[in-house]
Structure 1
Amino acid sequence: MAGACAAAVTAGAVVAGTIGAAAQTPAERGAYLVNTVMTCHNCHTPIGPNGPDMARALTGGTPVFDTPAFKVRGSNITPDRQNGIGAWSDADIEKALRHGVRPNGVPLAPPMPTGFYGVLTPADSAAIAAYLRTVRSSPNKVEMPVYKAAIEREAFPGAETPADPATFSDNVKLGEYLVTIAHCMECHTPREKGRLDFSAIGAGRQEFKGPWGVSVSRNISSHPTKGLASWTDAEIKRAITEGVSRDGGKLKPPMGYGFYARMTPADLDAIVAYLRTVPPRE
């Protein structure tokens, strides 16, 4: 499996004390989402030889695009008022997440997966903002993105509006929500002429180049032979949290296995339940 964003991490490379889904405060819930499910560190934390440098968590600077059309570095999303998001209101943060627009109206560049974040519940959006206000502030100044082409924001089907948390008692609905905000299908859906092919959600086939060489995202649909239909629940969870395939082989980055390893058992169960329902794709 290859997964969301730009860097592999080890199981220990996460923030100590991350709180699970039963967190009692918004900031604790936000910590769980940012540090685990949504793998924000993959783009917003500088990458060292062993993965994200958590001593500089969320200070930005990681190259996420360096092409003729876009030159983009992960933003500083600490509370620094000059170079981070400390001067942003909660509404500004939510607008950036849901609609991909900065407070000054400039669109956020890809690969920030705002087309998936529209599904965030109001409580989870507020929790993310609450948590980001608690992280250690850094004055790290990140160069502004350079756009030489039009930005095309792709809204993932079903992610256009906030989810209804009342539906989360259904394990499949909860899993669909988690898979969406984890933007799994950003990598596990093929692209045609640069755009996600939503007619083949879950079919994989995207290539990712890095220090590991080349990896290709796996088919995570319910296809009986090419997808996950014949995998056990335990095998799927091991692939997500440990990066180990069904045959015991090590899966390549960029999927953030180390972050997913800190997900609650209930959330992992829900993800597996949802993946079982993804229509089979060749």
Structure 2
Amino acid sequence: MRLVLRRAVLALLLLGLAAAPSLAQSRVERGRYLVEVIAACGNCHTPKGPNGPLPGMNLAGNFVVEDNSDFRAVAPNITPDRATGIGAWTDAQLMRAIREGIRPDGSLIGPPMPFEFYRGLADEDLAAMVAYLRTVRPVANASEKSTYRMPLPPSYGPPVQRVTAPPRSDRVAYGAYLAGPVAHCMECHTPFGATPGHRDMARAGVGGQAFNGPWGVSVASNITPARHTGLGLWTDAEIERAIRRGISRDGRQLFPPMGFAHYAAISPADMAALIAYLRSLPAIER
């Protein structure tokens, strides 16, 4: 009997050891999906030329994200290069930088990094993003330092405690998690409120914010179910096409900064959750 038990215990231990690499790979793959697809980190952190992202420079930074009267924001290098990227940062330091906007030296990261939303990133997803970033090919590419002509706050809030994602079975709640903390759709599609730097979440999805770029000026759409100025008359397939391919209901080509090239790979389940959440928003005409 003891021999049988010992063999059973040994088998379980061997099974656990065999499963360990697959579990680690699962975390990295989740991180890859979050960084490269849903969160579309490369939309800002990958330098671009006239024909799109520069080859071999994925997440290597030194891309001017926005240059306005308040600031000139240049995305940093987030590859594991030790001299010019995040290779010398610990996992805890990188997590704090992503979720709370604080660098290892204690300085504050400025906009347009959406810390108002990233503070809600679930612990497991944040750890997965960091695990994936460790696997990215290091690229030596020093970034220009961002310049802020406006005062930054002392912080973006108190230290973040434990955060868990809503269950995927609750499609609307999980869609809100994807559209808020992860994909930060509401960063562009929600107008600012009375408090400087904070969006008016009572008007989530109403849009109206203008973005200047090589394409001219694009204005964030109303993505609430409003029938006249929003998505109220759109089918789910039309909303999905707009997100994945950047094609409006009437066939017009939509413009950046929407990361269509990234969003094309959103999983069917996550797309369904995002659309369910958008359908749940109060219908507000703009």
Q: Using the TM superposition, give the Cα deviation of residue 111 of structure 1 relative to its aligned residue in structure 2, in angstroms.
A: 0.4
1:1-282 mapped onto 2 (5 Å cutoff)? 25-152=26-153, 163-165=163-165, 167-180=167-180, 181-191=182-192, 195=197, 196-282=199-285
Q: Using the TM superposition, give the Cα deviation of residue 130 of structure 1 relative to its aligned residue in structure 2, in angstroms.
A: 0.5
**Higher relative helix content:** 2
Residue type at the aligned position of 2:148: Y
In structure 1, stretches of 5+ residues that fail to align are 1-21
- 3-state SS of 1:252 partner: coil
> Could you give the per-residue CA deviations for residues 142-179 of structure 1, whole angstroms, max 9, x where no partner exists?
122223321249979xxx77653352211111111111
> Could you give the per-residue CA deviations for residues 16-63 of structure 1, whole angstroms, max 9, x where no partner exists?
xxxxxx995211111101110011111111011122224201110000
In structure 2, stretches of 5+ residues that fail to align are 1-22
Structure showing greater radius of gyration is 2
CA 1:275–1:57 in structure 2 vs 1: closer, same or farther (change >3 Å)? Answer: same
CA 1:69–1:207 in structure 2 vs 1: closer, same or farther (change >3 Å)? Answer: closer
> Could you give the per-residue CA deviations for residues 102-145 of structure 1, whole angstroms, max 9, x where no partner exists?
11111111001122111111111111111101111112111222
Query: What is the root-mean-square deviation in Å for CA atoms of aligned residues?
Result: 2.3
Which whole-Å CA distance do the structure 1 matches of 2:72 and 2:258 have between them? 22
Which whole-Å CA distance do the structure 1 matches of 2:266 and 2:24 have between them? 12
TM value normalised by structure 2? 0.84
> Could you give the per-residue CA deviations for residues 247-279 of structure 1, whole angstroms, max 9, x where no partner exists?
122212221111100111111011001100111
Which whole-Å CA distance do the structure 1 matches of 2:62 and 2:46 have between them? 7
- How many percent identity over aligned positions? 48
- 3-state SS of 1:84 partner: coil
Q: How many equivalent pairs are there? A: 258
CA 1:116–1:54 in structure 2 vs 1: closer, same or farther (change >3 Å)? Answer: farther
- 3-state SS of 1:98 partner: helix
More off after superposition, 175-184 vs 141-150: 141-150
Q: Using the TM superposition, give the Cα deviation of residue 192 of structure 1 relative to its aligned residue in structure 2, in angstroms.
A: 5.8
Kept in 2, the 8 Å contact 1:201–1:281? The answer is no
